[in-house]
Amino acid sequence: MTRIANKFASLKAEGKSAFVSYLMAGDPDYDTSLEIVRGLPAAGVDIIELGMQFTDPMADGPAIQLAGQRALKAGMNLKRTLQFVADFRTIDDTTPIVLMGYYNPIHSMGVDTFLTAAKSAGVDGLIVVDLPPEEDAELCIPAMAMGIDFIRLTTPTTNDKRLPKVMQNTSGFIYYVSINGITGAAEASAAIVAPEVIRIKASSDLPICVGFGIKTPNTAHEIAGVADGAVVGSAIVERIAAGETPAQVLGFVAELANGAHSA
């Protein structure tokens, strides 16, 4: 079993939903970012999503766009992001790590080179938001052949006709985008999300984690109560942008994790 599958199995045995945190790798700088990420598991994070820097992030709201710009300015790139994962793995070999971003940097590095390096570094999954299932042969299938999960996004506009195609070759978990629009744009609603989770579960046995629009421990609690996991990104990234210390950021993350785990 993969680290992701093991994590969901252990959480299920404990009767808990997952708490997934997103940070941009290298924001605001390599060392500070690594200190924060190394502290995430102790703060209650079950799965870590790391952003891959890209100059034209179409799905990201202002907070994550600015995080990417800070990381790029600090000298981050895809090669350094993979080194970042490898550095994390020197102290933690169990917490799943998912890289989230866009295909251009991967294509520029070369798919085979990227996947080999990602597997060696300890990457468990990929979320590549601009590669639809029609392009599975490009990255999804080679990734899965390497034992790296390919996690797909579903949205409120993914209708019943489209859903089976989106589920094709998806592994690890399903990431349900709770709102129409970019990250950090609005507040997620458990009442709206719940029937969508039920609808998607009819098409897949994979866990469903809900992201976009979760900003508080209370919302994390509510969303985790109707899904298999809650994902928070912008609200954490905004704390980093405000200049909070790693300890302060991790304190906020712990509050979010407690909210999700208490569902």
Q: What does the pLDDT look like over 127-164, one tens digit per residue? A: 999 999 999 999 999 999 999 999 999 998 899 999 99
Give pLDDT, residue 60. 83
Give pLDDT, residue 183. 54
> How many CB atoms are located within 10 Å of the residue 8 CB?
25
Number of domains in the chain: 1
Give pLDDT, residue 181. 55
Give pLDDT, residue 257. 98
Question: What's the pTM value of the predicted model, to 2 decimals?
Answer: 0.95
Q: Write out pLDDT tens, residues 64-96.
A: 999 999 999 999 999 999 999 999 999 999 999
Q: What is the CATH number of the domain that holds 63?
A: 3.20.20.70
Binned at pLDDT 50, 70 and 90, residue 178 comes out as confident
47-66 mean pLDDT: 90
- Choose among 45, 37, 36: nearest CA to 259: 45
Give pLDDT, residue 79. 98
Q: Write out pLDDT tens, residues 198-218.
A: 999 998 999 999 999 899 999
32-55 mean pLDDT: 97
Give pLDDT, residue 102. 95
8 A C-beta contact, residue 177 and residue 155: yes
Looking at the predicted structure, is the pLDDT value of residue 184 above 70? no
Q: Give the active site residues.
A: 49, 60
- Show the domain range for 232: 3-261
> How many CB atoms are located within 10 Å of the residue 87 CB?
17
Sorted by sequence, the CB contacts under 8 Å of residue 104 that are 6+ apart come out as 54, 56
Give pLDDT, residue 175. 96
44-56 mean pLDDT: 95
> How many CB atoms are located within 10 Å of the residue 9 CB?
12
CA distance 188 to 72: 30
Least confident piece of the model among 40-49, 60-69, 97-106, 242-251: 60-69
230-253 mean pLDDT: 97
8 A C-beta contact, residue 36 and residue 250: yes
Looking at the predicted structure, is the pLDDT value of residue 48 above 80? yes
